[in-house]
Amino acid sequence: MTSSTTLHGTTVICARFGGKVAIAGDGQITHGNTILKTNARKIRKIGGGVAIAGFAGATADALALFERLEGKLEQYPKQIKRAAVELAKDWRTDRYLRKLEAVMTIADREVDLLISGNGDVVESEDGLLAIGSGGPFALAAARAFRENDKIDAATLARKSIAIAAGICIYTNDQILIESM
């Protein structure tokens, strides 16, 4: 699933497969038509390691949202759906947060979600979520790779980002993966 607003500058995919979940993201940060950084960290474990999250969009905005999401996970321990809904409500109604331009994906051992400033909290239908400008390419690749039952979630995510990097000019092959 991708956001209704295409955010340029990244590709992040959440893949649940074979009893594991992995979120992978590329490392490229762009400004207009210039690459500013190639090894950015857009994926991290949060909530004391109970969940993994990734973002696409403005870096400072996403970092502010990570902090808010961490706070919601402290308030609602081990309830990522509740924490995500509470974040989305705040994001949509708070005058400051409403201006933040990012999309997030979060997963734990049970559920994977996309969270947006439009108030969206969407659980994947098939264990796959992709965000950012290369998201549609990574999602298509992941769906094709999933046909191979010998692949694990982390490998599926890595290969999907690599495919997107070959197509999307805002995505590179410096891939970071977190899994559980």
pLDDT in tens, 134-176: 999 999 999 999 887 789 999 999 999 999 999 999 999 999 9
Residue 134 lies in a domain: yes
Task: Using DSSP, state whether 132 is helix, strand or coil.
Answer: strand
Residue 68 lies in a domain: yes
Give the active site residues.
10
The answer to whether the beta carbons of residues 59 and 147 sit under 8 Å apart is no
User: Smallest Cα–Cα separation from 23: which of 46, 38, 43?
Assistant: 43
Residue 173 lies in a domain: yes
Residue 5 lies in a domain: no
pLDDT digits (tens, 9 = 90+) for 90-149: 888 888 888 888 899 999 999 999 998 888 999 999 999 999 999 999 999 999 998 877
Identify the CATH number of the domain in which residue 92 sits. Answer: 3.60.20.10
* Angle formed at CA 174 by CA 117 and CA 88, multiple of 5 degrees: 10
Residue 1 lies in a domain: no
Q: What is the pTM of this model?
A: 0.91
Residue 79 lies in a domain: yes
Domains held by the chain: number: 1
In this structure, the number of other CB atoms found within 10 A of the CB of residue 155 comes to 19
How far from the centroid of its chain's Cα atoms is residue 70's Cα? 15
**Could you tell me which residues are beta bridge partners of residue 14?**
23, 129
Residue 6 lies in a domain: no
Residue 3 lies in a domain: no
What's the token pair of residue 74? 């402290």
What's the token pair of residue 20? 């594991």
In this structure, the number of other CB atoms found within 10 A of the CB of residue 45 comes to 14
What's the token pair of residue 14? 């959440």
Query: Between 114 and 18, where is the model more confident?
Result: 114
Q: What residues make up the domain containing 39?
A: 11-179
The answer to whether the beta carbons of residues 153 and 14 sit under 8 Å apart is no
The answer to whether the beta carbons of residues 175 and 24 sit under 8 Å apart is yes
Average predicted confidence (pLDDT) for the chain:
90
Task: Using DSSP, state whether 171 is helix, strand or coil.
Answer: coil
- Cα gap 18→98, rounded to integer Å: 37
Maximum distance among all alpha carbons in the chain? 47
